[in-house]
Structure 1
């Protein structure tokens, strides 16, 4: 009898121990990424360049998804996806960052944990190869949320985050666009550069959401201008109660509209679905204000939304059902 009871207890304990793993396996995962929205014209896109963009997007979204599928966290997934986009000269972030009016590169980034509402943001960086890694260090290894400029780079050095010489960010294409902008005496180039940003949102097997965004700002920008990307609630937001959002567009409008948080708030307080909330904010509210751009989002069920009011947005996603999307144009 004693032996039977012992076996029964052991069996029950084994079953109990297996429940979290089984539940984790049932929890869907999802990820979406973007490489910026704007006036992306088919007529100006060569077949070779389009192929390069699609390949870069595919690589980044698959890398993030592999992390999620293996049981990794949403924070790790979005960090890795954004890091890969930062390392590509195709996108206005990291290696491909545009130049300011005085010929420098100024990088901004932010990350947010939907489980804790912890966040980290950085701005005005000149030497950090991967700003998203520094934003995460601010969130996880400091008592602060937002660091800028020299102080942020000093913190990066203390944390062992890789710094690079300024010429690392030089690309001939970005430099020529700055020269064109200077000649025209304009604050910025058309919307292809204006909306350059990269971002990622993800849901992991623990049911946690995360969002990350990174940018090189505006071509020919002046006076230390900072856009929406590192502003928590404007360009980046995550909350397990609703969704994770990463935005790209007219930064000033996204800040004034608190775009990322507004989408989450509509879900939490008006019971809106992700696609509905994103469409209301991007397709109506932002348009009425005169702003352009787009967002990617994922909710706690693994539903994905990629919404824009522009002719295109570099984007890719893998939803809870494993459906893969990699697109550039709106149509």
Structure 2
């Protein structure tokens, strides 16, 4: 019997309402989600590595202005772009992460390079920039990342004195637009990757859970791969991705039970809105959320494709 392969992705969770979603925006989102999950799956079908599959999937969303990562990243209080990303490979528990980076078209590639070509796990800001330069990364002008939508969001947030995606005129802006992917390859390797632009109007070099191993990203062979999206301050405090993995490892909970316990337990009680994608060693996929929606897609071990937005789908 062949080792199964599967992949799941997310493009952010939060208040996403049908009545506010235009047909045009819905189609654009669904099309990009499907393009993303198929990009990762194509790597797996060719016998490629799970880590490479997650990178391929995440890059599609980083290159799209629809998601809060890469090109569509939100703006800081200083009207700049500061991006975070992380990746973890389950075979040897290797990981790489970057935070507060600027001018890198695909932050997930830099996180992967930190994992593979440095002695470190986590690089930030100017240090991460210097490392990128040493590795031959091309830098793009900041104008590449900035969209009119994000400028309007920032102005709205500044007027209200807020720092998150809420009370905006766009139908899906009360969501946490992190993107992520989890994958299982033909060799039985699990991997997870996460990328984000953070929160609108953030200050002081704020960093959320996305680049933090064990909070926003986790993968270990024989157990589970996890990528989260939500209110980063809460997801850090609850160590969401690592907690899910620990429940499976020590309590022998299946991926569905563990994911629901984590998302709907103490995290939700303390105000931690969001969701996660999780994939176990058999290729079983689970999406968990305590919000009205999460942009998500998957291709299971049978090759079935699903692309969804709302929690009740």
TM-score by length of 1: 0.91
User: What SS class does the counterpart of residue 36 from structure 1 fall into?
Assistant: strand
Aligned equivalents of 2:129 and 2:244: distance in 1? 32
Q: Quote the residue 1:214 is aligned against.
A: 195
List gaps (5 residues or longer) in structure 2. Answer: 167-171
1:172 aligns with 2:148: yes
1:290 aligns with 2:271: yes
Q: Quote the residue 2:288 is aligned against.
A: 307
Is the CA contact (8 Å cut-off) linking 1:241 and 1:268 kept in structure 2? no
Q: Quote the residue 2:58 is aligned against.
A: 82
User: What SS class does the counterpart of residue 135 from structure 1 fall into?
Assistant: helix
Q: Compute the displacement of 1:41 (Å).
A: 1.2
Q: Compute the displacement of 1:70 (Å).
A: 0.8
Aligned equivalents of 2:112 and 2:201: distance in 1? 28
Deviations 1:260-308 (A, max 9, x none): 0110111110000001100000012211221110000111000001110
Q: Quote the residue 1:43 is aligned against.
A: 19
Name whichever structure is richer in helix by fraction: 1
Q: Quote the residue 1:201 is aligned against.
A: 182
1:57 aligns with 2:33: yes
Q: Compute the displacement of 1:161 (Å).
A: 2.1
Aligned equivalents of 2:29 and 2:153: distance in 1? 19
Note the aligned Cα RMSD (angstroms): 1.0
Q: Compute the displacement of 1:160 (Å).
A: 1.8
Q: Quote the residue 2:298 is aligned against.
A: 317
Q: Compute the displacement of 1:193 (Å).
A: 5.0
Aligned equivalents of 1:189 and 1:266: distance in 2? 31
Q: Compute the displacement of 1:324 (Å).
A: 1.5
Deviations 1:231-251 (A, max 9, x none): 100000000131000000010
Which shifted more, 185-194 or 97-106? 185-194
Q: Quote the residue 1:132 is aligned against.
A: 108
Q: Compute the displacement of 1:136 (Å).
A: 0.3
4+ residue runs over 4 A deviation? none
Aligned equivalents of 1:266 and 1:95: distance in 2? 35
> Does the C-alpha gap of structure 1 residues 200 and 118 become closer, same or farther in structure 2, counting only changes over 3 Å?
same
Name which of 42, 47, 60 aligns with 1:66. 42
Q: Compute the displacement of 1:192 (Å).
A: 2.9
Report the structure number with the largest CA radius of gyration.
1
Which shifted more, 50-59 or 321-330? 321-330
Deviations 1:39-73 (A, max 9, x none): 01111110010000000000000110011011000
Name which of 87, 99, 112 aligns with 2:75. 99
* Number of matched pairs: 307
Is the CA contact (8 Å cut-off) linking 2:75 and 2:151 kept in structure 1? yes
Name which of 241, 258, 266 aligns with 1:277. 258
Aligned equivalents of 2:165 and 2:25: distance in 1? 20
Is the CA contact (8 Å cut-off) linking 1:133 and 1:161 kept in structure 2? no
Q: Quote the residue 1:117 is aligned against.
A: 93
Q: Compute the displacement of 1:96 (Å).
A: 0.2
